Amino acid sequence: MKQILSILVLSFMFSVSSFAQEKSFAKFDREQMIKDTNEMVTYLELDNNFKQSLFQLVDMRIESVGTATNLEEAKKINSQFNNKILAGLSKEKREKLLENKALHKKIILEL
C-alpha cells in the first residue's frame, strides 16, 4: 500500500514539475518497455495492481529522464527508477529476476 501511495505521489510530483527540454539525453521505446514489463509481470507472477504501478513507473521514467538537463542527471534519475522497481519486489522476486539475466537487463536499464 505504501508503494502504491508513493508511486502516486511521485506521479503527481513529476506531472506538475515537468517541462519540455530542448535536448533529451535518453530515448526510451515505451512500447518495448511495456512489453518487457509485461514479460516480468508474467515471469514473476505479479498481481494486477503492481503491474499498473509498474506501467506508471515506465511513463514517469521516460518523462523524467527525458527532461534531464545533462547526462549525469539523466543517469541519476534512471538509477533512481531502477531502485524503485527493485524495491517494490519481495526478496524472493528480486532473486528470481536476477536469475533471469536477460529479463533483468531489459528491466534495469542503464544509460
In total, how many domains does the chain have? 1
Q: Tell whether 65 is covered by a domain.
A: yes
Q: Does some domain include residue 17?
A: no
Instruction: Look at residue 52 and tell me if it is in a domain.
Output: yes
Task: Evaluate whether residue 9 is within a structural domain.
Answer: no
pLDDT at 8 over 90: no
| Per-residue pLDDT at 28 exceeds 90 | no
Q: Judge whether 86 lies within some domain.
A: yes
The residue range of the domain holding 63 is: 28-107
Query: What does pTM read for this prediction?
Result: 0.72
What are the CA-CA distances from residue 12 to residues 46, 54, 57, 94, 99 (Å)? 24, 15, 12, 27, 34
**Residue 11 in domain:** no
pLDDT tens digits for range 45-79: 999 999 999 999 999 999 999 888 899 999 999 99
Q: Is residue 18 part of a domain?
A: no
Q: Is residue 14 part of a domain?
A: no
Q: How much is the CA Rg of the chain, to the nearest whole Å?
A: 14
pLDDT mean over 96-110: 94
Q: List the grid coordinates of 64.
A: 523524467
